[in-house]
Amino acid sequence: MSNIIDGKAFAERLRGDIASRVSKLKAQHQLTPGLAVVLVGEDPASEVYVRNKAKQTVEVGMESVEHKLPADTPEADLLALVDELNKNPDIHGILVQLPLPKHIDEAKVLDSIHYEKDVDGFHLTNVGLLSTGAEGVVPCTPLGSIMMLKDRLGDLSGMNAVVVGRSNIVGKPMANLLLQENCTVTIAHSRTKDLADVCRGADILVAAVGRPEMIPGDWIKPGAAVIDVGINRIERDGKKKLVGDVEFASASGVAGAITPVPGGVGPMTIACLLHNTVQQACRQHKIAMPDA
Q: Please classify residue 139 by burial: count the beta carbons closer than 10 Å to its beta carbon, then call 0-12 exposed, 13-18 middle and 19+ buried.
A: buried
C-alpha to C-alpha distance for 53 and 91, rounded to whole angstroms: 15
Catalytic annotation, pick one of 118, 120, 203, 228: 120
Q: Using CA atoms, how far apart are residues 91 and 280, in angstroms rounded to an integer?
A: 10
Footprint on this chain of ligand GUN (rule: CB under 6 A): 49, 95-98, 120, 140, 269
3-class secondary-structure state, position 240? strand
Smallest gap from Cβ 61 to ligand GUN, in A, equals 21
CA neighbor of 278 nearest in space, from 49, 15, 41, 4: 15
Give the C-alpha separation, 121 to 255, whole Å: 30
For helices 171-180 and 140-153, angle between their N-to-C axes, nearest 10 degrees? 40
Residue 263 burial by CB count (10 A; 0-12/13-18/19+): exposed, middle or buried? middle
CA distance 35 to 95: 8
- Our CA angle for 115, 182, 204, nearest 5°, is 95
Catalytic residue from among 97, 117, 118, 228: 97
The reply to whether 120 belongs to the active site is: yes
**Cβ-based nearer residue to ligand GUN, 49 or 219:** 49
Quick one: which H or E segment has residue 235?
strand 232-236
Closer to ligand GUN at the Cβ: 61 or 210?
210
Does residue 221 carry a catalytic annotation?
no
Nearer to ligand GUN, 198 or 272 (CB): 272
Residue with smaller CB distance to ligand GUN, 108 or 285: 108
- Residue 53 annotated as catalytic: yes
| Coil/strand/helix, residue 260 | coil
Residue facing ligand GUN at closest CB distance: 98
Residue closer to ligand GUN by CB (options 26, 211) is 211
Nearest approach in angstroms of CB 129 to ligand GUN is 18
Provide the annotated active-site residues: 53, 97, 120
